[in-house]
Amino acid sequence: MTDLPAAPAAIQLGLVVDLDACVGCHACATSCKEWNTGGHWGPLTDVNAYEAEQRGVWFNRVFTYEVGGRREDARTIHFPKACLHCENPQCVTVCPTGASYKRAADGIVLVDVDRCIGCKLCAWACPYGAREFDEDQGVMKKCTLCVDRIYNDNLAVADRAPVCVLTCPTTARHFGDFNDPQSNVSRLVRERGGFDLAPELGYRPTSKYLPSRSRRSAPREASQPDAADAARDYVGGFLRWVDRALSR
């Protein structure tokens, strides 16, 4: 079972994370925790949940980076990170029990928590830090791509997607089939220059990141203020915001 599927999957499901749109609200992370703690692979246990040194399992974590240091075009980039459902997942092949597996049907990487012995070797084999050990249950857990939602006939069709994707208020997360060149995710990757994390390690992650785009406007102080601009200074509050928005 820890052998990878012999042939590439017909469909390869994964996520696209738009670093340009993410505002770092952590809604994807908290909704993930909420769904998965009550879902098929739950609970995602917490230790010391209401006191110091809280420890618990999360499938999705949002980092915030500062890029560009003290340069004028420095920016803040929010960076959600979960399992990338790699095409070449070493976390699967190192598993001694067959608890870790990559589904031949859709490429999702899962852990069978009833077979896992908690040796943690899969976490060592993952360069993305996507697997977390559930110390309460003694087994490894990871993102399931909400496999208990996406095929769930009890949910409305619109709700059959990973909960992080549905929750995101800025549509920074997209879900789809990367083997279909016409899918939304394939199109986004093509048009926006989607990239792999650490491609040199050879894990061939399925999920991609869309780069943070450069700022669209030229430096404003370069333009000469004319009389109309001077008059605008008397406008304040909401109207000033409208003026600026329309002037772009």
* Contacts (CB under 8 A) with other proteins, residues 158-217: 195-198, 200-203, 209, 211-212
Q: Which of 87, 106, 132, 177 binds other proteins (CB under 8 A)?
A: 132
133 binds other proteins (CB under 8 A): yes
Of 8-16, 129-137, 177-185, 227-235, which part binds other proteins (CB under 8 A)? 129-137
Residues 6+ apart with CB under 8 A from 183: 176, 177
Q: Which of 8, 38, 40, 64 binds other proteins (CB under 8 A)?
A: 64
Touching other proteins, residues 11-40 (CB under 8 A): 19, 24, 26, 29
CA dist 130 and 27 (Å) reads 18
Structural contact between residues 144 and 221, judged by C-beta atoms closer than 8 angstroms: no
CA dist 36 and 105 (Å) reads 22
Q: Can you name the residues that pair with 47 across neighbouring β-strands?
A: 55
Touching other proteins, residues 84-123 (CB under 8 A): 90, 92-99, 115-121, 123
CA dist 62 and 149 (Å) reads 22
Touching other proteins, residues 136-155 (CB under 8 A): 137-140
Other Cβ atoms less than 10 A from the Cβ of 4: the count is: 17
Q: Can you name the residues that pair with 123 across neighbouring β-strands?
A: none
Smallest gap from residue 210 Cβ to other proteins (A): 10
Touching other proteins, residues 219-248 (CB under 8 A): none
Smallest gap from residue 171 Cβ to other proteins (A): 20
Of 30-38, 127-135, 154-162, 222-230, which part binds other proteins (CB under 8 A)? 127-135
Residue (117 or 235) nearer to other proteins, CB:
117
Structural contact between residues 40 and 69, judged by C-beta atoms closer than 8 angstroms: no
CA-to-CA separations, 159 to 40, 128, 156, in angstroms, rounded? 16, 28, 5
Residue (96 or 225) nearer to other proteins, CB:
96
Other Cβ atoms less than 10 A from the Cβ of 130: the count is: 24
